[in-house]
Every structure is written in C-alpha cells, then in structure tokens.
Structure 1
C-alpha cells in the first residue's frame, strides 16, 4: 500500500470511539537505527472546539494499529 493511498483515511480510536482526523493530519516518528515507523503523532480532537487554535497531539505506537481498512485506520489506545 502506498502512502498516497492511506492519506485520506480517518484515524479512529476503537477504545474511546473518538476521531483523530485523517492520516494526513498525523506525523510519523521513525526508529533512527532501522528506519521502521515507531509511532504516529495524531491530533487529539477530544474536548476541542473547531475554533480552538491549540492542537494537542497524542502519540500512537505503531503496534496499537488494529486495522487499516478501506476508509479508516483503527487503533486501540
């Protein structure tokens, strides 16, 4: 799967049922020694209004991703 194919997928927390934006809103953290993806930094949209300028992020370990589906990426917090 290409990065361009997953960019528009929504990132959803299975445990809380919360939405964390699209994959394009996330940043990736890499392991410097082997180049593997270590974690994603996703926006924490809970409790924020859409007019809020402060963007909190949460670190999502790559291992917590449960499924990359057709329209969404599901992770377990």
Structure 2
C-alpha cells in the first residue's frame, strides 16, 4: 500500500524525452469505483512566485510506465498532449 503523500514527493519524468515534468499536486479519482484516473502535475514556471505562468498537466493513469522509489515514469508525447514548453 502507498499513501498519497508518498506519491507527491516523487519526481515525474517523461520517458519519451527524459524531462522532469514536476511533482504530483492532485489526483483525478473516479468516485464510483475509487480508482485513480489521472495524476495532475503543476509545473511551476514562476520565478519566486512572481514571473511566468503555472502549467497544469493532466496525465492519464494508463500513461504511467513505472512507479519507482524516487520517480514516476510516464510516457507522454508532448506535442500531441499539448505539453510544449
């Protein structure tokens, strides 16, 4: 069993390009069956919280490749998913 707080400390990395996407901020949970449908990552583009913009990435659970001790590996095509930097 793993607690939500354990998920939030892991870095999320895209295996398609090796880039760190951020950390999990939230989950999309199906209230009918209680299963996680997606993870939500808030990529902080702000410097000291003032400049830039926050981007929110919603990554479907099916795109998670591996949950490791320190990292969560996901497979995302950045152009298709609208995750261009």
Identify whether the pair has TM-score above 0.5, normalized to the shorter chain. Answer: yes
Asked if 1:68 is matched to 2:67, the reply is yes
State the secondary structure of the residue aligned to 1:56: strand
Match of 2:27 in 1: 28
CA offset digits 1:54-76 (Å, max 9, x no partner): 21111100111111111101000
Question: How many residues were matched structurally?
Answer: 72
Normalised to the residue count of structure 1, the TM-score between the two structures is 0.75
Structure 2-normalised TM-score? 0.70
The structure that has the greater radius of gyration is: 2
SS in 2 for 1:22: strand
RCO (CA 8 Å, sep 6+): is it higher in 1 or 2? 1
- Structure 2 spans left out of the alignment, 5+ residues: 77-85
